[in-house]
Amino acid sequence: MSGLFIVQLLNGLQLGVLLFLIAAGLTLVFGVMNFINLAHGVQYMLGAYLAVMFYGYTGHFLVAVLLALVATLLFGLLLETVIFRRLYARDHLDQLLATFGIILFLNEAVKTVWGAAPLSLPIPELLSGSVPLAPGLNYPVYRFAIIGSGFVVGAALYAVVNHTRIGMLIRAGAHNAPMVSALGVDIGRLFMLVFAFGAMLAGFAGIMVAPVFSVEPGMGDSVLILAFVVIVIGGIGSIRGAFFGALLVGVIDTLGRSFMVDLLRIGVSTGQARAVAPALSSMLIYVIMAVILAMRPEGLFPVKGRQG
């Protein structure tokens, strides 16, 4: 039980850091530009597909990762310049509709180009194998690498947002974008930068999971919903909120799915526990979100003074 618990806790952390990578861009784009981007999830999907594609061309994992990162960054820039830029001034409903159209298109485009069957990326030699946590209990190195890279990115992001000039502008933008613009900052360039960088982070999450999850059309959709849950729990525009929200959601969701039956057996019979556990564990994060929002309608770490 305790060994399984540690493994599931690590799995939860892994899901948490992935959600953080996706939610970070989403919460910044939302917080700074007040732009709802449903198409953020497809960046995650594209990251995974591009990694598989570049691996097919080069046969080298690290090169494929770097190329895919650059490609997702460029793709984010392309989307921003061609489409999203025109939508910042629109109301949220128009943004929802347009970005929903982009999801439909890209999901189908991916299916047309790469086929509907799931693809996968082999785990690189260097990161294969597993680490013994206890006698008879191993955990794959690659999954540690995911968790580690997530924390590294999180720390880097924290440093950039809190201790650099550009980070200061981003934070100021999340508080009051018109004021930042009025003070002579080129807000358009700031938006573009934040957007492209957020897209790349989501792409990075997709690249990292390509060897462990199946790479398939629509893989970004359910992740997008989870990322929205995360940023709403954390408070929109807050990187810190996204970080803790992501870990909370990742760990609770994973542990809930593994241990709900055991937990319920304390109160009810085994049969009953088995009957209700799957539904209860699936809805656990939504229950938590509802409870958090009922008590704190602006999330755990609200950005002070943010409008709307």
Residues binding other proteins (CB under 8 A): 30, 36, 83, 86-87, 90, 92-94, 96-98, 100-109, 111-112, 221, 225, 228-229, 232, 236, 275-276, 278-280, 282-283, 286-287, 289-290, 293-294, 297-299, 308
**Helix/strand/coil for 113:** helix
Element (H, E) at 134: strand 130-134
- Minimal distance in Å, beta carbon 245 to other proteins? 12
Nearer to other proteins, 7 or 300 (CB): 300
Nearer to other proteins, 140 or 173 (CB): 173
- Minimal distance in Å, beta carbon 185 to other proteins? 25
- Minimal distance in Å, beta carbon 152 to other proteins? 29
- Minimal distance in Å, beta carbon 236 to other proteins? 7
Residue with tokens 């799931």: 118
Nearest to 143 by CA among 244, 65, 212: 212
- Minimal distance in Å, beta carbon 231 to other proteins? 9
Instruction: Retrieve residue 131's tokens.
Output: 């680490």
Distance of CA 144 to the CA centre of its chain: 17
Nearer to other proteins, 153 or 303 (CB): 303
Could you give the CA distance from residue 100 to residue 106 in angstroms, rounded to a whole number?
10
Nearer to other proteins, 6 or 268 (CB): 268
Nearer to other proteins, 154 or 237 (CB): 237
Nearer to other proteins, 39 or 65 (CB): 39
- Minimal distance in Å, beta carbon 267 to other proteins? 17
Could you give the CA distance from residue 156 to residue 158 in angstroms, rounded to a whole number?
5
DSSP-assigned letter for residue 119? B
Nearer to other proteins, 92 or 304 (CB): 92
Is the separation of the CB atoms in 123 and 211 below 8 Å? yes
- Minimal distance in Å, beta carbon 100 to other proteins? 6
Cβ neighbours of 102 (radius 10 Å): 16
**Helix/strand/coil for 35:** coil
Cβ neighbours of 292 (radius 10 Å): 19
Element (H, E) at 191: helix 187-209
Element (H, E) at 55: helix 40-58
